[in-house]
């Protein structure tokens, strides 16, 4: 599962939203994520990719869209993302 | 579906699970962490939801096979005696749910989903013989299972009982280990930042237990669950008092669980993380319980 697929899967678990709406240019603001949603996503990213996404990247608007978050994860993933047990 | 939990129900769950956090019993303490009322354990409130979703899933034409995943995000604590409304709807092959307050405010307490998933995360050992198996392993407490069957006779789903027993054992045996890991990780992060040693965190965390559960996720082998549930259903007709406990005790297989090293994130004075508890039956992975936790290094209200 790559970063984009992971983010889509995580958000579908957290929000009642159509997967077709989850495009790379969709802003996190439009998703109306609350603070616990961000925590859940940050922990999930750490767990699956070993990447720590500091909260201030969201609060400072450094990361504004799903695509930017996916790119941030990709740029810091040293090893291949964890595959799934079949 | 309407759900209400009174003081007696909360005390029963505390006695079963060992979770006597004062936010559930001490109003002054609840006020201290920003709550107006005493709080219901999230795991207690999830139980009837899991039972209902599992029953509906097995009887519907969308009955899943392979792995089934139940995930709940805790969004606002439930208060004693309040009426709560459960709403569900189908989203693809899953059922989405939301538990909200029964008043006009419609405060969202839980949201989540239940349905099939393709696979289990690969970092979870498929067998206890795996080299990546963690050191912290626990035999399933059969006495605890018997207590569950006595206390919650209305819960007939095997995995719901198993989830509750593993959680109760985690509260007693696993959480102290995780708490120490949190304290150590925080100290390490402070040291890395050359920050002064924050003894307040250690004191506050250990003495006040300012830690809350933020999510609960169970991925279970549907084949095993269906097999044991079918066995349970057949015995229910013959013996009305049959229960998950009776089913498990008639099944002589080995059941145990492990505590995987938690994933922890430290951002400022907040520590968040996830704890994974794989469950094995006869040396085969049959269930994974994942618990989201949040702690803050502060006397400020943790719950808003």
> Does B122 contact A39 at a Cβ distance shorter than 8 Å?
no
Whole-number pLDDT of residue B222: 80
Alpha-helix runs per DSSP H in chain A: 3-14, 28-31, 35-49, 56-59, 66-76
User: A84 and B273 in contact by Cβ < 8 A?
Assistant: no
Distance CA B140, CA B153 (A): 19
Pairing of strands B270-281, B211-221: unpaired
> In this structure, what DSSP letter does residue A65 have?
B
A14 vs B160: which has the higher pLDDT: B160
3-state secondary structure of A23: coil
pLDDT tier at B240, thresholds 50, 70, 90: very low
pLDDT per position as a tens digit, B98-109? 999 988 888 999
pLDDT of residue B299: 46
pTM of the full structure:
0.85
β-strands B137-139, B211-221 pairing:
unpaired
Structure letter (DSSP) for residue A28: H
Does the pLDDT of residue B213 top 80, yes or no?
Answer: yes
Stronger pLDDT, B8 or B190, i.e. the higher one: B8
* pLDDT tens per residue across span B256-275: 899 998 999 988 778 899 99
A48 interfacial to chain B (CB closer than 8 Å): yes
Which chain B residue shows the shortest CA-CA distance from A51? Answer: B265
> Which has the higher per-residue pLDDT, B211 or B166?
B166
| Residue B191 to chain A, least CA–CA distance (Å) | 18
State the average pLDDT over residues B150-164.
Answer: 90
Q: Tell which of B192, B267, B302 to mutate to test the A interface (max A CBs under 10 Å).
A: B267
Average pLDDT over chain B, rounded to an integer: 81
Task: Please state, for a pLDDT cut of 90, what percent of chain B lies above it.
Answer: 37
In this complex, which of B98, B120, B215 lies closest to A40 when CB atoms are compared? B215
A82 touches chain B (CB under 8 A): yes
**pLDDT higher for B210 or B35?**
B35
Residue of chain A nearest B217, judged by CA positions: A13
Give me the residues paired with residue B71 across strands: B113, B217
- Interface contact flag, A46 B263, Cβ < 8 Å: yes
Instruction: Answer whether B88's CB lies under 8 Å from B97's CB.
Output: yes
Whether A47 and B274 lie within 8 Å, measured CB to CB: yes
Q: What is the pLDDT along chain A (86 residues), one digit of tens a residue?
A: 788 889 998 898 888 788 888 899 999 989 888 888 999 999 999 999 999 998 889 888 899 999 999 999 999 886 655 555 64
């Amino acid at each position: 599962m790559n970063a984009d697929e992971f983010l889509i899967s995580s958000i579908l678990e957290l929000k009642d939203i159509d997967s077709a709406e989850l495009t790379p240019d969709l802003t996190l603001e439009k998703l109306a994520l609350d603070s616990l949603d961000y925590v859940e996503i940050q922990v999930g990213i750490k767990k699956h990719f070993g990447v720590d996404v500091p909260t201030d990247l969201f609060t400072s608007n450094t990361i504004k869209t799903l695509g930017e978050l996916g790119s941030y994860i990709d740029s810091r993933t040293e090893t291949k993302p964890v595959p799934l047990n079949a | 579906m309407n759900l209400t939990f009174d003081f007696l129900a909360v005390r029963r769950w505390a006695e079963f699970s060992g979770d006597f956090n004062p936010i559930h019993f001490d109003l002054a303490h609840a006020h201290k962490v920003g709550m107006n009322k005493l709080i219901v354990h999230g795991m207690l409130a999830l139980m009837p939801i899991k039972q209902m979703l599992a029953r509906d899933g097995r009887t519907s034409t969308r009955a899943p096979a392979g792995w089934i995943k139940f995930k709940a995000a805790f969004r606002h604590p439930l208060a004693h005696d309040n009426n709560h409304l459960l709403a569900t709807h189908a989203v693809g092959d899953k059922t989405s749910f939301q538990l909200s307050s029964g008043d006009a405010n419609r405060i969202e307490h839980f949201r989540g989903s239940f349905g099939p998933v393709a696979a289990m995360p690969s970092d979870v050992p498929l067998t206890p013989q795996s080299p990546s198996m963690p050191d912290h392993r626990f035999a399933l407490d059969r006495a605890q299972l018997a207590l569950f069957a006595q206390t919650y006779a209305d819960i007939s789903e095997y995995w719901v009982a198993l989830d509750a027993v593993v959680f109760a054992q985690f509260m007693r045996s696993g959480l102290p280990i995780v708490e120490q890991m949190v304290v150590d990780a925080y100290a390490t992060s402070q040291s890395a930042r050359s920050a002064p040693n924050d003894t307040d965190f250690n004191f506050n965390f250990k003495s006040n237990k300012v830690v809350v559960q933020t999510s609960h996720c169970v991925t279970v082998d549907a084949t095993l669950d269906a097999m044991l549930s079918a066995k349970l259903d057949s015995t229910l007709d013959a013996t009305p008092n049959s229960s998950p406990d009776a089913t498990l005790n008639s099944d002589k297989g080995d059941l145990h669980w492990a505590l995987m090293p938690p994933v922890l994130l430290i951002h400022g004075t907040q520590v968040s993380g996830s704890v994974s508890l794989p469950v094995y039956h006869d040396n085969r992975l049959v269930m994974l319980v994942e618990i989201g936790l949040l702690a803050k290094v502060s006397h400020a209200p943790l719950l808003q």
